[in-house]
């Protein structure tokens, strides 16, 4: 692990049980990490919350969303964070797992979402490998084939 | 256009949808045998997606079978078993067969099922899945890649008015309506006052007017069934008085039906409610009886 993610993991892991999703939304969830929900739900509780407000999966644990909701609307939580509680948070970008959300916040990488999520479309890119079928000899693939598919 | 969709849009009479029983083996005839007794009484039928985290014949296969056999299916899609690629592929594939009604659910956890060792997916959550489905309806995958022609999808979701935090459930209904849900099938519940509070919140914020609220009625025939739901199914509460009433009655099956019938009446009389969703665990014609006793005309009688 690089230094920054290590520091973030150490600090936020201790305080919020941070799971290093790399796209922190703690400010909008009343400082309650949604990735600690066994279903990693980022937009509110599932239908299985028990009558005592505890988790369907871990009965000993209060549902993180009952906590998040209370904390988010707490008078001590600044309104500019609280008002984002009901926003529809986009699907997790699994490419960011293990990276420092602090860096991703500064670069804006944590706010990048797929085009379709935002209602935009793009012309179909040429996907060379979809027409290859089975390739018997990897040397038949053009140079950079594998590196192109890697996550940048 | 399907009767179900038309009814959701026009609200000319209360809507009735039902959960299709799980199928584990057989042929199309097996599906037909379970469908025929309920088909005349419902406007649409849910093809469930591995309910309670138990593997069954798939949601897509059942939805297509229901379509072939003359029903109007609602394809349930849960977030538990498939990532966004597979979920989108299922929706687009089912649409090829004319299955266009969708219902997005978070889904029970794997630990609720008989294969708790399974890996849980939850790549998307319920509200995200609604938005992804609505994107497909508008002709694009979540990536932004175009889908031509755009499938004529009709997107819905679920909500549980009976589970805490109660006031927050209204906000979640709004979140799903804003994401594109046109109907919300509600979790099984036995407390009309909680439903009334939820529905009233949904009328106040405008959700009930644009998104049909369909509370669920569960048909059971034993005191044990109610005990099981109360004790073992997280998110469902069956009040003590109701459980006692059924357990102490001389005809438990009949009393169970009466409980369901009275609940259905109370739900239908609740402002903001557009119809009912029925889960029938009795399979003894009670669904037909309920719909008839309530004076609701199902798809056959409307035709």
Burial class (CB in 10 A: 0-12, 13-18, 19+), B115: exposed
pLDDT of residue A141: 65
Contact B235 A50 (CB under 8 A): yes
Interatomic CA distance for residues B19 and A77, integer angstroms? 43
Global pTM reads 0.91
Low-confidence ranges of chain B (pLDDT < 70): 297-303
Closest CA to B218 of B210, B209, B228, B208: B228
Interatomic CA distance for residues B163 and A19, integer angstroms? 27
Any residues with CB less than 8 A from the CB of B57 and at least 6 apart, and which? B22, B23, B24, B25
Contact B125 A39 (CB under 8 A): yes
Contact A65 B165 (CB under 8 A): yes
Contact A86 B174 (CB under 8 A): yes
pLDDT of residue A14: 76
Low-confidence ranges of chain A (pLDDT < 50): 151-152
Interatomic CA distance for residues B16 and B298, integer angstroms? 7
Closest Cβ–Cβ partner in B124, B145, B164 for A122? B145
What are the b/e assignments for B253-267, b being 16+ CB within 10 Å? bebbbebbbebbebb
Residues of B in contact with A70 (CB under 8 A): 165
CA distance A82 to chain B (A): 14
Closest Cβ–Cβ partner in A38, A114, A123 for B109? A38
CA distance A90 to chain B (A): 7
Would you mind telling me the total number of residues written for chain B in this entry?
303
Interatomic CA distance for residues B247 and A117, integer angstroms? 51
CA distance B199 to chain A (A): 16
Contact B140 A65 (CB under 8 A): no
Structure tokens at B128: 């995200």
Structure tokens at B109: 């956890």
Any residues with CB less than 8 A from the CB of A83 and at least 6 apart, and which? none
Closest Cβ–Cβ partner in A44, A47, A66 for B187? A47
pLDDT of residue B272: 97
Residues of A in contact with B123 (CB under 8 A): 91-92, 94
Q: Does A82 touch chain B (CB under 8 A)?
A: no
Closest Cβ–Cβ partner in A42, A51, A86 for B171? A86
Residue-wise DSSP of A25-59: -GGGTTT--GGGSTT--SSS--TT--TTSB-SS-T
Backbone angles phi, psi at A142, to 5 degrees: -70, 160
Contact A119 B168 (CB under 8 A): no
Give the mutation candidate from A21, A40, A41, A43 for the B interface (greatest B CB count, under 10 A).
Answer: A43
Interatomic CA distance for residues B188 and B216, integer angstroms? 5
Interatomic CA distance for residues B44 and B70, integer angstroms? 10
Interatomic CA distance for residues B169 and B174, integer angstroms? 9
ipTM of the complex: 0.90
- What sections of chain B are H helices per DSSP? 3-10, 28-35, 59-68, 84-96, 126-137, 166-179, 192-204, 207-210, 223-232, 240-247, 252-268, 286-293, 299-302
Contact A116 B164 (CB under 8 A): no
HSE at residue A93, side-chain half, CA atoms within 13 A, is 19
Residues of B in contact with A120 (CB under 8 A): 140, 144
Closest CA to B61 of B88, B107, B25, B104: B25
């Amino acid at each position: 692990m690089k230094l920054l993610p290590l520091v973030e993991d150490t600090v936020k892991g201790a305080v919020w049980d941070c799971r290093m999703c790399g796209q922190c939304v703690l400010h909008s969830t009343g400082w309650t990490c949604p990735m600690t929900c066994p279903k990693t739900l980022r937009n509110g509780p599932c239908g299985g919350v028990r009558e005592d407000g505890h988790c369907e999966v871990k009965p000993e644990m209060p549902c993180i969303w009952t906590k998040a909701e209370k904390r988010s609307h707490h008078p001590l939580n600044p309104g500019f964070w609280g008002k984002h509680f009901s926003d529809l948070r986009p699907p997790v970008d699994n490419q960011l797992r293990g990276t420092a959300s602090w860096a991703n916040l500064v670069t804006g990488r944590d706010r990048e979402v797929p085009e379709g999520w935002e209602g935009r479309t793009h012309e179909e890119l040429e996907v060379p490998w979809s027409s290859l079928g089975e390739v018997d000899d990897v040397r038949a693939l053009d140079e950079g084939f594998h590196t192109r598919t890697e996550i940048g | 256009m399907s009767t179900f969709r038309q009814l959701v849009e026009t609200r000319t009479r209360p809507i009735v949808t039902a959960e299709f029983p799980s199928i584990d083996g057989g042929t199309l005839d097996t599906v037909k045998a379970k469908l025929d007794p309920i088909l005349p009484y419902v406007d649409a039928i849910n093809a469930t997606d591995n309910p309670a985290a138990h593997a069954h014949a798939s949601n897509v296969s059942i939805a297509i079978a229901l379509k072939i056999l003359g029903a109007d299916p609602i394809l349930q899609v849960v977030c538990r078993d498939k990532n966004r690629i597979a979920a989108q592929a299922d929706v687009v594939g089912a649409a090829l067969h004319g299955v266009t009604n969708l219902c997005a659910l978070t889904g029970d956890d794997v630990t609720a099922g008989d294969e708790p060792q399974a890996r849980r997916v939850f790549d998307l959550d319920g509200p995200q899945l609604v938005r992804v489905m609505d994107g497909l309806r508008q002709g694009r995958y979540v990536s932004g890649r175009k889908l031509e022609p755009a499938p004529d999808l009709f997107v819905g979701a679920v909500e549980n008015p009976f589970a805490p935090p109660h006031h927050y459930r209204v906000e979640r209904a709004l979140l799903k309506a804003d994401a594109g849900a046109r109907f919300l099938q509600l979790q099984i519940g036995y407390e009309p006052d909680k439903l009334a509070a939820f529905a009233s919140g949904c009328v106040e914020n405008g959700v009930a007017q644009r998104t049909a609220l369909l509370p669920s009625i569960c048909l059971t025939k034993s005191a044990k069934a109610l005990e099981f739901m109360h004790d073992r199914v997280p998110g469902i509460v069956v009040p003590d008085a109701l459980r006692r009433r059924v357990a102490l009655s001389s005809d438990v099956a009949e009393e169970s039906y009466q409980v369901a019938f009275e609940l259905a009446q109370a739900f239908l009389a609740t402002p903001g409610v557009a119809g009912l969703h029925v889960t029938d665990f009795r399979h003894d014609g009670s669904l037909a009886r309920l719909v008839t006793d309530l004076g609701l005309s199902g798809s056959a009688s409307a035709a």
